[in-house]
Protein backbone atom coordinates (compact mmCIF):
# COMPACT_ATOMS: atom_id res chain seq x y z
CA UNK A 1 0.00 0.00 0.00
CA UNK A 2 1.03 3.66 -0.31
CA UNK A 3 0.64 6.56 2.12
CA UNK A 4 1.33 10.29 1.86
CA UNK A 5 4.44 10.86 3.95
CA UNK A 6 5.15 14.57 4.38
CA UNK A 7 3.96 15.26 0.86
CA UNK A 8 5.63 12.17 -0.64
CA UNK A 9 3.52 9.13 -1.56
CA UNK A 10 5.64 6.44 0.10
CA UNK A 11 4.81 2.82 -0.70
CA UNK A 12 5.40 0.14 1.91
CA UNK A 13 4.66 -3.50 2.67
CA UNK A 14 3.35 -4.58 6.07
CA UNK A 15 3.11 -8.10 7.49
CA UNK A 16 2.00 -9.41 10.88
CA UNK A 17 1.25 -7.73 14.18
CA UNK A 18 3.14 -6.97 17.34
CA UNK A 19 6.48 -5.28 17.98
CA UNK A 20 7.25 -3.24 14.84
CA UNK A 21 10.37 -4.06 12.83
CA UNK A 22 11.19 -1.61 10.02
CA UNK A 23 13.72 -2.79 7.42
CA UNK A 24 15.23 -0.39 4.87
CA UNK A 25 16.30 -1.70 1.49
CA UNK A 26 19.56 -1.59 -0.43
CA UNK A 27 20.37 0.43 -3.53
CA UNK A 28 19.11 -0.08 -6.22
CA UNK A 29 16.42 -2.53 -5.03
CA UNK A 30 13.14 -2.07 -3.15
CA UNK A 31 11.06 -3.40 -0.27
CA UNK A 32 10.55 -6.75 -1.97
CA UNK A 33 14.12 -7.68 -1.14
CA UNK A 34 12.96 -8.42 2.41
CA UNK A 35 10.47 -11.11 1.35
CA UNK A 36 12.68 -13.94 2.72
CA UNK A 37 12.55 -12.31 6.16
CA UNK A 38 8.75 -12.19 6.49
CA UNK A 39 8.49 -15.62 8.09
CA UNK A 40 11.51 -15.05 10.34
CA UNK A 41 9.97 -12.00 12.04
CA UNK A 42 6.29 -12.89 11.70
CA UNK A 43 5.60 -14.30 15.15
CA UNK A 44 4.93 -11.46 17.58
CA UNK A 45 6.22 -8.78 15.23
CA UNK A 46 4.96 -6.44 12.55
CA UNK A 47 7.36 -6.17 9.64
CA UNK A 48 7.20 -2.88 7.71
CA UNK A 49 9.35 -2.43 4.61
CA UNK A 50 9.10 0.89 2.71
CA UNK A 51 10.21 1.75 -0.82
CA UNK A 52 12.37 4.88 -1.01
CA UNK A 53 11.04 7.62 -3.30
CA UNK A 54 11.81 6.61 -6.87
CA UNK A 55 12.15 2.91 -6.05
CA UNK A 56 9.62 0.11 -6.25
CA UNK A 57 6.13 1.61 -6.13
CA UNK A 58 7.06 4.99 -4.65
CA UNK A 59 6.97 8.08 -6.94
CA UNK A 60 9.97 10.24 -7.73
CA UNK A 61 11.87 12.17 -5.04
CA UNK A 62 12.78 15.87 -5.10
CA UNK A 63 15.48 16.91 -7.57
CA UNK A 64 18.38 16.11 -5.23
CA UNK A 65 17.54 14.92 -1.72
CA UNK A 66 20.13 14.12 0.91
CA UNK A 67 20.18 11.03 3.13
CA UNK A 68 18.35 12.97 5.83
CA UNK A 69 15.41 13.34 3.45
CA UNK A 70 15.05 9.56 3.21
CA UNK A 71 15.28 9.30 7.01
CA UNK A 72 12.60 11.99 7.37
CA UNK A 73 10.37 9.91 5.08
CA UNK A 74 10.88 6.95 7.42
CA UNK A 75 9.97 9.14 10.39
CA UNK A 76 6.87 10.30 8.57
CA UNK A 77 5.89 6.70 7.92
CA UNK A 78 6.24 5.88 11.63
CA UNK A 79 3.96 8.82 12.41
CA UNK A 80 1.41 7.78 9.82
CA UNK A 81 1.33 4.20 11.09
CA UNK A 82 1.32 5.42 14.71
CA UNK A 83 4.43 3.43 15.56
CA UNK A 84 6.21 4.67 18.66
CA UNK A 85 9.47 2.74 19.09
CA UNK A 86 10.64 0.29 16.44
CA UNK A 87 13.42 -2.14 15.76
CA UNK A 88 15.15 -0.47 12.82
CA UNK A 89 17.32 -2.21 10.27
CA UNK A 90 18.96 -1.34 7.00
CA UNK A 91 21.12 -3.05 4.41
CA UNK A 92 23.73 -1.08 2.44
CA UNK A 93 22.03 2.26 1.62
CA UNK A 94 19.45 1.22 4.21
CA UNK A 95 22.21 1.39 6.81
CA UNK A 96 23.11 4.93 5.74
CA UNK A 97 19.46 5.90 6.17
CA UNK A 98 19.29 4.11 9.53
CA UNK A 99 22.26 6.13 10.81
CA UNK A 100 20.45 9.31 9.83
CA UNK A 101 17.29 8.07 11.58
CA UNK A 102 19.37 7.70 14.74
CA UNK A 103 20.34 11.34 14.41
CA UNK A 104 16.78 12.52 13.76
CA UNK A 105 14.76 10.40 16.21
CA UNK A 106 16.97 8.17 18.41
CA UNK A 107 14.19 7.91 21.01
CA UNK A 108 12.09 5.89 18.55
CA UNK A 109 14.69 3.17 17.94
CA UNK A 110 14.60 0.23 20.37
CA UNK A 111 16.99 -2.04 18.48
CA UNK A 112 19.26 -1.73 15.45
CA UNK A 113 20.23 -4.06 12.60
CA UNK A 114 23.13 -2.95 10.37
CA UNK A 115 23.55 -5.27 7.39
CA UNK A 116 26.23 -5.04 4.70
CA UNK A 117 26.81 -1.35 5.32
CA UNK A 118 29.55 0.95 6.57
CA UNK A 119 29.71 4.16 8.62
CA UNK A 120 32.38 6.07 6.70
CA UNK A 121 31.67 8.42 3.78
CA UNK A 122 32.67 7.72 0.19
CA UNK A 123 36.35 8.31 -0.60
CA UNK A 124 37.21 10.26 -3.74
CA UNK A 125 37.30 7.29 -6.11
CA UNK A 126 33.89 6.04 -4.96
CA UNK A 127 32.40 9.51 -5.29
CA UNK A 128 33.57 9.72 -8.88
CA UNK A 129 32.21 6.24 -9.58
CA UNK A 130 28.77 7.31 -8.32
CA UNK A 131 28.87 10.37 -10.58
CA UNK A 132 29.76 8.19 -13.55
CA UNK A 133 27.00 5.73 -12.71
CA UNK A 134 24.43 8.52 -12.43
CA UNK A 135 25.51 9.89 -15.81
CA UNK A 136 25.22 6.47 -17.46
CA UNK A 137 21.76 5.86 -15.97
CA UNK A 138 20.66 9.24 -17.31
CA UNK A 139 22.07 8.49 -20.76
CA UNK A 140 21.38 4.77 -21.12
CA UNK A 141 18.46 4.05 -18.79
CA UNK A 142 17.95 1.90 -15.74
CA UNK A 143 19.03 -1.29 -17.50
CA UNK A 144 22.68 -0.24 -17.40
CA UNK A 145 22.67 -1.01 -13.66
CA UNK A 146 22.44 -4.71 -14.47
CA UNK A 147 25.82 -4.39 -16.15
CA UNK A 148 27.31 -2.15 -13.47
CA UNK A 149 25.97 -3.67 -10.25
CA UNK A 150 25.42 -7.42 -10.40
CA UNK A 151 29.07 -8.40 -9.87
CA UNK A 152 29.26 -6.02 -6.90
CA UNK A 153 25.98 -7.00 -5.27
CA UNK A 154 26.20 -10.79 -5.42
CA UNK A 155 28.90 -13.29 -4.54
CA UNK A 156 30.49 -15.47 -7.23
CA UNK A 157 28.69 -18.45 -5.67
CA UNK A 158 25.30 -16.79 -6.04
CA UNK A 159 25.99 -15.66 -9.58
CA UNK A 160 27.03 -19.17 -10.59
CA UNK A 161 24.65 -21.39 -8.64
CA UNK A 162 21.53 -19.40 -7.74
CA UNK A 163 19.87 -18.17 -10.94
CA UNK A 164 16.57 -17.52 -9.15
CA UNK A 165 18.14 -14.93 -6.83
CA UNK A 166 20.06 -13.41 -9.74
CA UNK A 167 16.82 -12.94 -11.71
CA UNK A 168 14.97 -11.55 -8.66
CA UNK A 169 17.69 -8.94 -8.12
CA UNK A 170 17.63 -7.97 -11.80
CA UNK A 171 13.83 -7.61 -11.68
CA UNK A 172 13.97 -5.33 -8.64
CA UNK A 173 16.64 -3.16 -10.22
CA UNK A 174 14.46 -2.68 -13.30
CA UNK A 175 11.55 -1.57 -11.08
CA UNK A 176 13.54 1.51 -10.04
CA UNK A 177 13.12 4.84 -11.80
CA UNK A 178 16.11 6.63 -13.36
CA UNK A 179 15.27 9.76 -11.34
CA UNK A 180 15.16 7.76 -8.11
CA UNK A 181 18.48 6.09 -8.84
CA UNK A 182 20.26 9.33 -9.76
CA UNK A 183 18.90 11.05 -6.63
CA UNK A 184 19.99 8.18 -4.37
CA UNK A 185 23.47 8.14 -5.91
CA UNK A 186 23.85 11.83 -5.15
CA UNK A 187 22.59 11.40 -1.59
CA UNK A 188 24.97 8.53 -0.90
CA UNK A 189 27.87 10.39 -2.49
CA UNK A 190 27.38 13.36 -0.13
CA UNK A 191 26.48 11.42 3.03
CA UNK A 192 27.98 12.34 6.40
CA UNK A 193 30.55 10.32 8.30
CA UNK A 194 28.66 8.20 10.83
CA UNK A 195 31.77 6.78 12.52
CA UNK A 196 31.52 9.26 15.46
CA UNK A 197 27.94 8.08 16.02
CA UNK A 198 28.90 4.44 16.66
CA UNK A 199 30.03 4.72 20.32
CA UNK A 200 26.84 6.64 21.12
CA UNK A 201 24.50 3.85 19.99
CA UNK A 202 22.85 2.63 23.18
CA UNK A 203 20.38 0.02 21.92
CA UNK A 204 20.93 -3.67 21.18
CA UNK A 205 22.61 -3.92 17.78
CA UNK A 206 23.13 -6.72 15.28
CA UNK A 207 25.87 -6.22 12.68
CA UNK A 208 25.52 -8.79 9.92
CA UNK A 209 27.20 -9.24 6.54
CA UNK A 210 28.50 -11.68 3.97
CA UNK A 211 31.93 -13.28 3.88
CA UNK A 212 32.21 -12.49 0.15
CA UNK A 213 31.04 -8.88 0.34
CA UNK A 214 33.61 -6.73 -1.44
CA UNK A 215 31.83 -3.45 -0.61
CA UNK A 216 31.24 -3.83 3.13
CA UNK A 217 33.85 -6.47 3.84
CA UNK A 218 33.84 -8.62 6.99
CA UNK A 219 36.78 -6.52 8.20
CA UNK A 220 34.81 -3.28 7.75
CA UNK A 221 31.77 -4.80 9.44
CA UNK A 222 33.84 -6.16 12.31
CA UNK A 223 35.55 -2.82 12.91
CA UNK A 224 32.14 -1.13 12.95
CA UNK A 225 30.75 -3.66 15.41
CA UNK A 226 33.70 -3.14 17.75
CA UNK A 227 32.86 0.56 18.03
CA UNK A 228 29.19 -0.07 18.97
CA UNK A 229 28.78 -0.98 22.66
CA UNK A 230 27.61 -4.58 23.04
CA UNK A 231 27.02 -5.17 19.33
CA UNK A 232 26.85 -8.71 17.98
CA UNK A 233 28.69 -9.39 14.71
CA UNK A 234 27.69 -12.23 12.37
CA UNK A 235 29.37 -13.11 9.05
CA UNK A 236 27.37 -15.33 6.71
CA UNK A 237 29.16 -17.84 4.47
CA UNK A 238 28.48 -17.89 0.74
CA UNK A 239 26.97 -14.40 0.75
CA UNK A 240 28.03 -11.15 -0.87
CA UNK A 241 26.52 -7.69 -0.47
CA UNK A 242 22.90 -8.90 -0.40
CA UNK A 243 23.35 -11.35 2.45
CA UNK A 244 19.64 -11.55 3.34
CA UNK A 245 18.88 -12.86 -0.18
CA UNK A 246 22.02 -14.95 -0.70
CA UNK A 247 21.98 -16.78 2.64
CA UNK A 248 18.40 -16.25 3.88
CA UNK A 249 18.51 -19.16 6.34
CA UNK A 250 21.61 -17.83 8.07
CA UNK A 251 20.32 -14.27 8.02
CA UNK A 252 16.94 -15.30 9.41
CA UNK A 253 18.50 -17.37 12.19
CA UNK A 254 20.63 -14.42 13.32
CA UNK A 255 17.69 -12.02 12.98
CA UNK A 256 15.31 -14.32 14.88
CA UNK A 257 17.80 -14.80 17.73
CA UNK A 258 18.40 -11.06 17.92
CA UNK A 259 14.68 -10.22 18.06
CA UNK A 260 14.07 -12.93 20.67
CA UNK A 261 16.55 -11.24 23.02
CA UNK A 262 14.94 -7.79 22.85
**234 pLDDT higher than 60:** yes
In DSSP terms, 49 is beta-bridged to 13
Averaged confidence pLDDT in the chain: 94
Considering the chain, what percentage of its residues have pLDDT values greater than 70? 97
The Cα 71–Cα 101 span in angstroms is 5
Q: Provide the whole-model pTM.
A: 0.96
Q: What is the pLDDT of residue 64?
A: 82
Q: What is the pLDDT of residue 9?
A: 66
Q: What is the pLDDT of residue 202?
A: 98
Angle ∠(184,211,247) on CA atoms, nearest 5: 80
The Cα 254–Cα 151 span in angstroms is 25
Q: Note the pLDDT tens digit of each residue in 2-44.
A: 444 555 568 999 999 999 999 999 999 999 999 999 988 878 9
Q: What is the pLDDT of residue 63?
A: 74
Lowest mean pLDDT across 29-43, 89-103, 133-147:
29-43
Q: Note the pLDDT tens digit of each residue in 173-211.
A: 999 999 999 999 999 999 999 999 999 999 999 999 999
The Cα 13–Cα 33 span in angstroms is 11
For each of the domains in the chain, give its residue range(s) and CATH number, in order of start: 2-261 (3.40.50.1820)
The Cα 116–Cα 242 span in angstroms is 7
Amino acid sequence: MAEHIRGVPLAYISHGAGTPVVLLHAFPLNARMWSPQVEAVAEGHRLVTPDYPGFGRSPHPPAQPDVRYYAACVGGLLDRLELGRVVLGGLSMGGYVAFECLRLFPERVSGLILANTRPDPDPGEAREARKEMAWRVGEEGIGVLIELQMQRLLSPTTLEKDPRTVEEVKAMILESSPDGVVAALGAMRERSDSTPLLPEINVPTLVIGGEDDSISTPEVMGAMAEKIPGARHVTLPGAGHLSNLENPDGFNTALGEFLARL
